[in-house]
Amino acid sequence: MDLPFTARVPVRFRDMDAMGHVNHAVYLSYMEFGRQEYFCSMSGLRDVKAFNFIVGSVECRYLSPATLGETVLVRLGVTRFGNASFTMHYRLSEETTGRPVAQASTELVCYDYESRRPRRIPLEMRQQITAFEARLREAPSDLAAPLPESEPHT
């Protein structure tokens, strides 16, 4: 799966749990950071209130533990558009070794905060995402290379 955007997230002490690795819930924050960077890079905006969608669901498969001192690369991209929602996939890996850490997806729902209801994805937003990812694929960075799929860490 081609995921054209990459964000770097250094593991912080506060991300750790009592077992000495990143707590499972923190990976959702890593994905959120990657999503924020993706949409800010795409739009040039830094105000997250400009993004009118919410997370409808999350699925995450943990592959190996991340630990303090590592940097997690969050690769992501939009893989499906529906009427009111779209799917974003994520592949998280340790920067130095490329070790797979997690694979995940979110279902993002366009949302009208006034009526408190889902709304259709604006055509302009679809076009902007499609064009942004096409530009990333045409001029990929050294971080955009696909990582190998792997089995969960046991």
- In the prediction, which pLDDT does 152 show? 42
CA dist 57 and 34 (Å) reads 16
pLDDT band (50, 70, 90) for residue 139: confident
Position 64 pLDDT exceeds 80: yes
Q: Average of pLDDT values for 24-52?
A: 90
137 occurs within a structural domain: no
146 occurs within a structural domain: no
80 occurs within a structural domain: yes
Core vs surface per residue 89-111: b (16+ CB within 10 A) or e: bbbbbbeeeebbbbbbbbbbbbb
CATH number at residue 37: 3.10.129.10
Full residue range of the structural domain in which residue 95 is found: 5-124
Interior angle at CA 136, CA 67 and CA 27, nearest 5? 25
150 occurs within a structural domain: no
141 occurs within a structural domain: no
Q: Average of pLDDT values for 48-61?
A: 90
Sorted by sequence, the CB contacts under 8 Å of residue 123 that are 6+ apart come out as: none
Q: How many structural domains does the chain have?
A: 1
Position 46 pLDDT exceeds 80: no
CA dist 91 and 75 (Å) reads 5
Q: Average of pLDDT values for 71-86?
A: 98
- Give the strand pairing for 5-10 and 53-62: unpaired
pLDDT band (50, 70, 90) for residue 141: low
Core vs surface per residue 17-49: b (16+ CB within 10 A) or e: eeeebbeeebbeebbeebbebbbeebeeeeeee
136 occurs within a structural domain: no
Q: Average of pLDDT values for 47-73?
A: 92
Is 41:135 a contact under the CB 8 Å cutoff? no
131 occurs within a structural domain: no
